[in-house]
Chain A
Amino acid sequence: MHIGNARSSYQADEVMWKRPAHKGAMLLIILSLLILPFWVGPYHLMLMSQLGIFVIAIAGLNILTGYTGLISLGQGAFMGIGAYTTAVLATGYGFPPWATFPLSIIMTALIGIGFGLPSLRVRGLYLTIATLAANVIIVFAIRKLEWLTNGDRGINIEPAILFGFSIESELEKYFVIAPLALLFVLFSQNLFRTKIGRAFIAIREQDYSAEIMGISLIRYKLTAFAIGSAYAGAAGSLWAYFFTALTPNQFNLSQSILFLAALIIGGMGTTLGPLFGAVFVILVPETLRAIAGLITPYYPLALQATAPITEIIYGLLIIGFLIFEPMGLSAIWARIWRYIDRWPFTR
């Protein structure tokens, strides 16, 4: 039973795993991530890889929106920049994945800084609208720069070749994406134990006060945009190699809205929020479809009714979580841990 916080140093306060049980849980999760792929089929592996990509993109949005308070509706389009940078460099210039991946991150970060400039003048809803415009502009540009992106016809990319191995099967893709997702999440966890991360949080709480304390708003707001976009760029690069066929529609506004919704559902400003959010937006529709699928083998036409109904239930579930747990799923997770830590004195 855990009954107090008797820490005697700043270092002790900063440790990543505060209790042995936390470390154990993390090890268990990593072990599951290693074993599960050999147990499930290719379809579920595909979902797990997609989950990894979403986690990276949402973790980036979490840095921007959850920790720095800059609400963005452009993450889907930033992911598109990463994906198209990878595709253009790989197909047009023959760059290998170890080059396209970092270059996509850098390119997206730079463009993110450009679109982050309005954040220096506007906040809240106004900034949201500015990022929404960024989304529209980026997707429009991808569609119109036909000489570079092939426009609406899209662009195909060869599977990634790493250390002489062509990454084609779902299992191979998973073992590239999952460790990267874990690394990106750990990076964001660590970021908020640094000066930069604390500056982000100070800006989120009250940017004027942060500025009075000596935090440069220009520098840190743009840094937040750069890092958040860089995450999207990484997710986009993996997306390109994962799907091997890109069209501009894959990065439209609904993708950005989905990421923001996932972050809110998962829990903004928490390390695990993006993970829970991604799990929710991927697994809940899947589960609902699995339940609806129990009827269709016996009565195929039922799909005509169950398909729209599952969409409605999914929407209602999102609303339900926002009403009953506005702090997100990570708050439930925190409560569960609190319950375990303080058992049997928990009420």
Chain B
Amino acid sequence: MTNRSRRDFLIKTTGAAGAAALGSFGFPAIVQAQAKEWVIGASLPLTGPFATAGQLGMPGIIDFIAMTNDSGGIGGKKIRGILEDSGYVAIKALANFKKALAEAPDLACYFGDSTGFMKLVAPELNSRYKIMTGSTSFASELANPSTNPYQYVSGPTYQDMFGILLQHVADKGGKRLAFVYSDTEFGKDPIAYGRQRAKELGIELVHEEITKASGAEVQSHVAQLRRADPDFILMHGYVTGVWPAIIATARAFGMKSQFLGTFWAMEKVIADKISAKVGDALNGYMGVLPYRYFYDRKEAPAYQELDAWNKANNEKYPGYLVTWYLQVRMTMNLWKKAMEITIEADKPVNGDNLMTSLASIKDWDSGGFFGNPVSVVSNKIPQGRVYAYNTENKLFLPKSDWIQV
């Protein structure tokens, strides 16, 4: 390439990029002038470390919009979604949030991708924007109406999950316990509570192992756990990686400890994939899930509806929807319920009224997502169930009844 053609190339690409950037500056005003509808925004980690969860969870919100619109929308108005990738970067998610606001200043709801985003957006949400905001997070501090009045958690918090699991350990006569968690805000969330609760239940916390959230040097961590020799090992702060490798390596090292986990590390697809590689290492792996697994849809009309809709509309539908999809969907269902209560009460749709409506939800039938009727307490739904993975039938099967925290 000659110097001149290089220059031409650069001038043309710079010009094209500049023109497109200038074009994007004019975009919001056009959108604002469009017909009235409920606009919801969402940031999902479609790239970055949690891309798998984001990619599989995103259809949850897209299907929600399509299904709700097919059935006439909410209060006669259709829903429009403004979805963006966050790459699991909180600042990027905040930019997405503000971009959605620029496009639709009367945003009815926002779905965030992480605890980091929820914390970052909280000050402005409280003081200026006042928009009902759900997320992928079950962080304990989000379920606090006095400090986070516009944020909600679509299930129990991580502390609640720890509480359920620790009670299970105590009930099983567990005496020696270890925590394994990622060195992230996500990983550390319930740890202080877990230490205190274990003490209260008379369980000795013999070891704490902190790992990277992904790409951890698993063997050295497992060697430490082996030395501590706990009866139960409670893991937290992982999504697709680390936790299966820790269990598989521990079994290879001959460890007999019972492994326990929380929501994001309870996905059947991951367990199946690991089991295909390492045999029955994950057999008996146990954890808390707020919702039913999708294959358990006999008593869940909402799941049956999702199944029928996907069969009719999704050519690649494998007959199973991942837990991450269900989490996104339930977050949106809660917003829909709050919307319906607000509209029925003939109140204006805004963050304050929506959150008041959400807080008023009592003994609501969630269509089988949750086993017990849903009551919102402190902007969360404190119930869940203990499941254990069975490598023979490749299913997480219930090991407890539905537990109200």
State the A residues within 8 Å of B (CB).
39-44, 46-47, 50, 151-154, 156-157, 159, 168-170, 243-245, 247, 249-250, 283-284, 286-287, 289-291, 296, 300-301, 303-304, 307-308, 310-311, 317, 320-321, 324-325, 329, 332, 335
Contact = CB atoms under 8 A, between A and B. Distances in A.
Contacts of B319: none
A contact patch SS: helix
Contacts of B124: 244
Contact of A250 (B24, B29, B84, B90): B90
A346 to B, nearest CB: 11
A244 B87 CA distance: 21
B95 A245 contact: no
19 contacts: A40-B25, A41-B28, A44-B25, A47-B95, A152-B188, A154-B185, A156-B119, A170-B98, A245-B123, A249-B90, A249-B184, A249-B185, A286-B24, A290-B20, A290-B21, A290-B24, A301-B58, A303-B58, A324-B6
Given A247-B185, A301-B62, A43 B6 contact: no
B244 interface: no
Contact of B98 (A46, A287, A329): A46
A335 B7 contact: yes
Interface of B: 1, 6-7, 9-11, 13-14, 17, 20-21, 23-25, 27-29, 46-47, 51, 55, 58-59, 62, 65, 81, 83-85, 87, 90-91, 94-95, 98-99, 101-103, 116, 119-124, 127-128, 141, 184-185, 188
Contacts of A320: 13
A245 B91 contact: no
Contacts, number: 118
Contact of A168 (B10, B25, B81, B128): B128
B28 A244 contact: no
Contact of B120 (A152, A245, A283, A317): A245
Contact of B123 (A152, A244, A335): A244
Nearest to B66: A300
Contact of A43 (B65, B81, B98): B98
* A169, A283, A310, A329: residue with the most chain B Cβ atoms closer than 10 Å: A283
A201 B11 CA distance: 30
A243 B6 contact: no
**What are the nearest 3 A-B pairs in CB distance?**
A43-B102, A307-B85, A307-B46
A292 to B, nearest CB: 9
Given A300-B62, A311-B47, A247 B24 contact: no
